[in-house]
Amino acid sequence: LLAASSGWITGLTAASLAFAESLPDEIREAYADDAARILGAALLSDTAYETLGELCDRFGHRLSGTPQLEACIDWSAQRMRDFGLVNVRKEEVMVPVWVRGEESATLTAPVHRPLSMLGLGRSVGTPPEGIEAEVVVVGSFHEMRSLGRERIEGRIVLYDVPFTSYGETVRYRGKGAIEAAKLGALAALIRSVGPVSLDTPHTGAMRYDDEVEKIPAAAVTIENATMMRRMQERGDTLRVRLTMGAQTLDDALSHNLVGEVLGSERPEEIVVIGGHIDSWDVGDGAQDDGVGCVISLDAARLIHELGLRPRRTIRVVLFTNEESGMAGGKAYLEAHRHELAHHVAAIESDTGNGLASGFRLDVRPRMIGLDPETRDADLAPPQKEELEAVRGVAKTRLETISPLLRPLGADMVLLAGSGVDISPLVKEGVVGLGVHHDTSRYWDIHHTAADTFDKIVKEDLDRNVATMAIMAYVLADMPGRILDVEFPATP
């Protein structure tokens, strides 16, 4: 799997580092005025706020396969043209189609009461009459396995797992059904993946294993999950009736939307900025990820309207189908493989509208000539060192730009976690950047009916637009690329 990487990187690292060290003053001098103009214009503008409000109110949620998603993509294309972007086009993507149907969950013993629930995306449904069975509440996969098949078989498992971090807790949503089915469970319920609740169940994608029986899976609220745990601890036997009309239909045609601010000197070189235009089928997808789309759109609008002509092209990409399959991100890579080496960087905003404090940087093993599927954990010590050196160069370069973001409090540079839509590009060696938003309130409403426009704070939005615009503009305009490396050839 791991081809030996070439020796070119050593010389390159030294050269790039020397260049990076000479850069801070140049960057500050060259771009301080432009950055101040961008920030001033962003704070004075109502356009981003009004665009996002209209997007949410007119189209509502935008699940893959729905007409409102496609209508929203067409409307966004018109906004791109209105904003002065060029080469505006839709690129075809086939997307999976999952429909929720009618659904409900009811506690039938020890007392009768309805439960607030949302089926998990991609789940199978139940038979029309539903499933009624005893519920076993567990706090972890480990606890469930220790109970063994005799306690789980023929029952409904409820994972009552408190939220620690999204990455940690979301495992129960992702593979909870698989692990419960391995022990013969009839259905899986999860405590919603979020830190607090106002009776808000959270949906989100789950998955199946072709080797394991596919059982229905749904999320209940924190209120209901903790109540059921208390009942079990009191020695009560719990029963739930779960009815879900969920179905997966044939794939449907959707689109990535692309528009550009054309580069003045090297138009073939590209900085991608974007978010995903699809959402789950509850709420309005305001924070996830209408806001990422609007931040990108408005950043491009500002750069264009201020008459800034970056040397390279800034390409806005509104990806489709992030939530239920990542088909948009994969399709963008395939459609643009021929110009992969011209992608200077890809920047994504997909963690809501909390005030950005900086950027997350990804440089993957492909960048040192290794197979795209290589993970950090697979690296031998010399390769690890080599990759760290390249990451160090990119980080240093980024830190020469980030002082421009200090007035916004957005000058932090962190490693890893740039974004899902750009991850296929990043795997192939493109430098990935993710806007690092404050997520302290984001997970509360993520994938819920409460993800609506009223929670968008205008000043935060305007500042986030400025952060994206300044970073995109400088990366597109600065004399050298963030990594001046020969792009890795296809292995």
- Find the angle CA(104)-CA(130)-CA(169) to the nearest 5 degrees: 55
- 362: which strand partners? 432
Interface with Zn ion in residues 380-419 (CB under 5 A) = none
Q: What is the dihedral of CA 302, 350, 197, 118, to 10 degrees?
A: 120
Q: What is the dihedral of CA 328, 333, 334, 338, to 10 degrees?
A: 150
C-beta of 137 vs 293, nearer to Zn ion: 293
- DSSP reduced 3-state for 354: coil
Tell me how far, at minimum, the Cβ of 174 lies from Zn ion, in Å.
Answer: 15
Residue 131 is which amino acid?
I
- Give the x/- contact pattern for Zn ion in 338-377, rule: CB under 5 A: ------------x---------------------------
C-beta of 298 vs 350, nearer to Zn ion: 350
From the candidates 269, 322, 386, 428, which is the catalytic residue? 322
- Find the angle CA(201)-CA(207)-CA(211) to the nearest 5 degrees: 140
Q: How far apart are CA 13 and CA 182, in angstroms?
A: 49
Tell me how far, at minimum, the Cβ of 443 lies from Zn ion, in Å.
Answer: 12
C-beta of 31 vs 59, nearer to Zn ion: 59
Work out whether 421 is an interface residue with Zn ion (CB under 5 A): no
C-beta of 259 vs 283, nearer to Zn ion: 283
- Which among 284-292, 404-412, 463-471, 479-487 is the span making contact with Zn ion, rule CB under 5 A? 284-292
Residue 62: phi and psi, rounded to 5, are -135, 65
According to CB under 5 A, which one of 34, 288, 444, 462 is a site residue for Zn ion?
Answer: 288
339 part of the active site: no
Interface with Zn ion in residues 45-84 (CB under 5 A) = none
C-beta of 333 vs 420, nearer to Zn ion: 420
C-beta of 290 vs 429, nearer to Zn ion: 290
Pick the closest to residue 310 from 479, 86, 432 (CA basis): 479
Work out whether 444 is an interface residue with Zn ion (CB under 5 A): no
- 137: which strand partners? 158
C-beta of 269 vs 288, nearer to Zn ion: 288
CA distances from 138 to 97, 152, 424 (A): 31, 10, 35
Tell me how far, at minimum, the Cβ of 446 lies from Zn ion, in Å.
Answer: 8
Number of residues that bind Zn ion (CB under 5 A): 3
Q: How far apart are CA 27 and CA 314, in angstroms?
A: 19
According to CB under 5 A, which one of 160, 260, 269, 289 is a site residue for Zn ion?
Answer: 289
Tell me how far, at minimum, the Cβ of 331 lies from Zn ion, in Å.
Answer: 17
Place of tokens 């209209």: 54
- For 249-291, the DSSP string reads EEEEEEEEEEEEE--SSEEEEEEEEEEE----SSS--IIIIIH
- Which among 20-28, 250-258, 289-297, 424-432 is the span making contact with Zn ion, rule CB under 5 A? 289-297
Q: How far apart are CA 267 and CA 373, in angstroms?
A: 30
- Which among 113-121, 264-272, 283-291, 338-346 is the span making contact with Zn ion, rule CB under 5 A? 283-291
Tell me how far, at minimum, the Cβ of 440 lies from Zn ion, in Å.
Answer: 17
Q: Which residues are designated catalytic?
A: 322
Residues near Zn ion (CB under 5 A) are 288-289, 350
